[in-house]
Amino acid sequence: MPDESSTRSEFHSEFNGDVHSVNQIGRVEHYHAAPVADPLREGPPLRPDWAGRARELAEFERALESGRWLSVHGPRGIGKSAVAAMLLERMRRAYPGGQLYIDLNKEDISRAMHSLLSRLYANQRQIPDTLEGLTALFQTATRNRRMLVVVDGVTRVREAEALRPAGEGSGFAVFGDVPLDDSAYEQHELGPLDPADAAEYLRRACPNLSGAVLPRLVEEFGGVPAKLRALAGLVHNKSLDSFGGIQSAVGGESVFDSLYTSLSEPARWLYRFFGALPGGEFETALTGIFVGSRDWTRDGVPAEFAELEAAQLISRLPGGWYRIERYPLRNLPVPGEAVSSDLIIPLRRQLGWHVRRAQRADEAIMGDRQRHAPDFGAAFEVRGFPGRPEAMEWFRTLHTALADSVRIAAVRGWHEETWALAEALWAYYTNAAQHREAVTCYRGALNAAESPLARAQLSALLGLCLIESSEFAEAELRLDEGLRVALAGQDSPEQGERFRALVGTLEEQFARLRHREERFKEAVGHIRRSIASAESLGRAKAVAIRLRVLAEIRLDEGDLAAAEETWQRAAAIFEAEGDGLHLAGTRLDLALLRFDSGDAAAKAAATSEVNRIVGELREQSLWQLGAETHERLADRLEGEERRMRLTMAYELYRAHEAFFDADRVKAALEIG
């Protein structure tokens, strides 16, 4: 069985840098390491048995080379995604700025654009929530690139407009079920494969069939690629080798239903099980949940699984992943909708497996943070991730399906799974700045929460996401509710310490809310109570992080002496705890404060301190904090010194393809 710790990007793009995250439940700091050397080269996987489309591809290539935008439409199953993959592969060298592939069949336009901007290595904290803001940032990111953007599943002109690249000479192609109502696009309707190409596809997919049989099959069943693939699966599954035998096997049913009924009863059950999974993609290691319940063959793969693969009802993807082929069958469940009773227990087991996988990803990204939801490690043996990048890539691939799983679990009353998966998803949401998606997820999880501890924690998570989304009124309601629950439970003999920790967390979030509202006196009261809570529980790092929050409040109040003293206290704790990342950030805050409040000698000393810290960050490849520090110092300088700092920040952002940041600094430099 493939190593389940490996992760797959559905876009076949490489992650070439580490992501160091220093997170508590409120404060998030991102440190990105190692430059990105190559542009993205995305696209759905190419299948070795694909054939034909040379004429269509030549037409599409001519349109793109002439600078025309391309709109390709056709019914489901006609092979649009296959043609998109072939087009991307065919034009790989024509666009030095890279290739982007977006599949709107899997997620809505806002989610897709947020994920896309994340893949473009944008500063996560600068990615907005509105479609207008996302579109503007995408234009900025692509303005200086000559790239090809291919979008699948487009249904409206507005979706296409949002994803059009801005770079001169860039190519743009959209694929959908219906043509776009816009004369700016060159329209092409995709039809069935030509008879010769359809026969060639069957020859590759079914080498046991004689050449004389192939044209007759095409004449009988047509050239729609999905139907041909199902026909090939039927031939494999029933070991058919004659036209009459194939015709008899299909009988009066559709090819799809004939393929399904040709399966053994256990294989049909397994296909229905996979069909009920949100997202329709899964790791091979998931099949381990069936150990002991079925006959197993080579490499721990059940015989029924091998039968589905031979019938081409599941397709192998890179990195130990599989995708289910969703044919139009009467018996195939729709993810999230009601399922038959024989699927309920297995679906809950697969959810538990995914919960544990998400918890391992959370551990790889967030480290030893405090967690309150049930640990599914005892029920499921799931390997961890090599590091943060692999765990984040796993979340990027599955976050939509995992969020859907939270919703499904809540509806089905699976309270522990709902809570644990929602808690684990925090590692993704806070690092990817997916505040809007997180709000939806945590609203649903909180509404379904059964235990007071779950309600208190989920209220804290939801409250912070609402603050980040500037929804202050609801944030106050959620935080107030969570604080009442946590205060009521802090004397519990079994879980009192957990409730007390959550009291401190919720007080911290209230401090952030009041700070954002510029209600500084109230913010100070909340953060002091939060610090006292962390001290009583012996959580030194939490104390230090909350001291930084207090220092920021004091700074905005104008009390510079109190801000300096508070940052010094935080720095001492970080140093004792060996937390170098937070220590560097705190020392930079102190150096800039002294720069602001001192005379010429103090400014010179502070500048030297900043240079020293930035040098250390550069040695550790923590380039982003260094670039941001150059910008912060530039805001305090004038003339050539200011220009020098902005230039250093600009060069760092450009070298690491942080285009949004680079363009902002470029505007400040007034570069042409």
Q: pLDDT tens, 206-245?
A: 999 998 999 999 999 999 999 999 999 999 999 999 999 9
Cα 200 to Cα 206: distance, rounded to the nearest angstrom: 10
Q: How far apart are CA 32 and CA 17, in angstroms?
A: 7
pLDDT of residue 330: 66
Tell the burial category of 187 from Cβ atoms under 10 Å away from its Cβ (0-12, 13-18, 19+). Answer: middle
* Confidence at residue 526, expressed as pLDDT on a 0 to 100 scale: 97
What is the pairing mode between strands 281-283 and 321-324? antiparallel
- Which residues neighbour 369 within 8 Å (Cβ) at sequence distance 6 or greater? 23, 24
Which residue pairs from 467-473 have beta carbons closer than 8 angstroms and sit at least 24 positions apart in sequence? 467/509, 467/512, 467/513, 467/516, 468/433, 468/435, 469/129, 469/435, 469/436, 469/439, 470/516, 471/439, 472/513, 472/516, 472/517
- For 390, other C-beta atoms within 10 Å of its C-beta total 18
- pLDDT grade, residue 552 (50/70/90)? very high
State the pLDDT at residue 331. Answer: 65
For the chain, give the mean pLDDT. 85
Task: Report the distance separating Cα 81 and Cα 83, nearest Å.
Answer: 5
CB contact set of 593 (below 8 Å; sequence gap of 6+)? 555, 560, 563, 564, 567
Residue 66 has a CB neighbour count (10 Å cut-off) of 8
* Residues 622, 582 contacting (CB under 8 angstroms): no
pLDDT at 81 over 50: yes
Looking at residue 6, its pLDDT comes to 37
Which letter does DSSP use for residue 492 in this model?
-
365-374 mean pLDDT? 87
Q: Distance (Å, rounded) from C-alpha 226 to C-alpha 327?
A: 8
Across 223-344, the runs of DSSP E, i.e. the strands, are: 281-283, 314-317, 321-324
Q: How far is CA 175 from the centre of its chain?
A: 23
pLDDT at 300 over 70: no
- Write down the pLDDT at residue 670: 67
Overall average pLDDT of the 524-543 stretch: 95
The Cα 661–Cα 295 span in angstroms is 56
User: Is residue 672 very low, low, confident or very high in pLDDT (cuts 50, 70, 90)?
Assistant: very low
Cα four-point dihedral sign 369, 372, 373, 374? positive
Higher pLDDT, 20 or 309: 309
Q: pLDDT tens digits for 386-398?
A: 988 888 889 988 8
Residue 36, pLDDT score: 39
Say yes or no to pLDDT of 423 above 90. Answer: yes
At residue 587, does pLDDT exceed 80? yes
Question: What is the rounded CA–CA span in Å between residue 427 and residue 402?
Answer: 13
C-beta separation of 434 from 422 below 8 A: no
CB-based burial of residue 639 (10 Å sphere; 0-12 exposed, 13-18 middle, 19+ buried)? exposed
Q: Comparing 126 with 112, which gets the higher pLDDT? A: 112
Q: Measured between alpha carbons, how far is 136 from 129 in angstroms, rounded to an integer? A: 12
- Give the per-residue SS3 of 4-62: CCCCCCCCCCCCCCCEEEEECCCCEEEEECCCCCCCCECCCCCCCCCCCCHHHHHHHHH
Answer whether residue 126 shows pLDDT above 90: no
Query: What pLDDT was estimated at residue 137?
Result: 85
Predicted pLDDT at 122? 54
How confident is the model over 625-653, as a mean pLDDT? 88
Is the pLDDT at 102 greater than 60? The verdict is: yes
Strand order from edge to edge, sheet including 281-283: 281-283, 321-324, 314-317
Task: Report the C-alpha gap between 629 and 613 in whole angstroms.
Answer: 10
Question: pLDDT at residue 298 above 70?
Answer: no
Q: Which amino acid is at 449?
A: A
For residue 121, what are the CA distances in angstroms to 116, 234, 405? 9, 44, 27
- Predicted local distance difference test score (pLDDT) of residue 294: 45
Sign of CA dihedral 330, 332, 337, 339: positive
CATH 3.40.50.300 residue spans of the chain: 54-189
What's the pLDDT score for residue 553? 97
pLDDT at residue 47 tops 80: no
Percent of the chain with pLDDT over 90: 49
How many Å apart are CA 50 and CA 588, to the nearest integer? 56
Per residue in 18-27, pLDDT (tens digit) is 333 333 333 3
One-character DSSP codes across 310-377: HTTSEEEETTTEEEE-----TTPPPTTS---HHHHHHHHHHHHHHHHHHHHHHHHHH-S----SPPGG
Position of tokens 């220093």?
A: 22
pLDDT score recorded for residue 315: 86
- Where does 367-471 have alpha helices with state H? 388-411, 415-432, 435-448, 452-468
Q: Is 493 in contact with 531 (CB distance < 8 Å)?
A: no
pLDDT at 14: 30
Question: Is 347-590 assigned to CATH 3.30.390.10?
Answer: no
Cα dist. 179→30, 74, 84, 193 in Å? 42, 8, 16, 19
> 19-23 and 171-176 as β-strands: parallel, antiparallel, unpaired?
unpaired
Of 359 and 292, the one with more pLDDT: 359
In degrees and rounded to multiples of 5, residue 278 shows phi and psi of: -60, 135
pLDDT band for position 2 (cuts 50, 70, 90): very low
Model confidence band, residue 35 (pLDDT cutoffs 50, 70, 90) = very low
What pLDDT shows up at residue 615? 85
Q: Which CATH superfamily hosts domain 54-189? A: P-loop containing nucleotide triphosphate hydrolases (3.40.50.300)
- pLDDT attached to residue 163: 93
Name the most confidently modeled range: 120-134, 160-174, 338-352. Answer: 160-174
Q: From CA 44, how far away is CA 199, in angstroms rounded?
A: 24
Integer Cα distance of 431 and 427 in angstroms: 6
If we measure between CA atoms, which residue out of 499, 563, 509, 510 comes closest to residue 537? 499
Give 143: exposed, middle or buried? Use CB within 10 Å, 0-12, 13-18, 19+: middle
- Picking from 423-437, 466-480, 501-515, 582-596, which range would have the lowest pLDDT averaged per residue? 423-437
Terminal alpha carbon distance of the chain: 55
Report whether pLDDT(619) > 60: yes
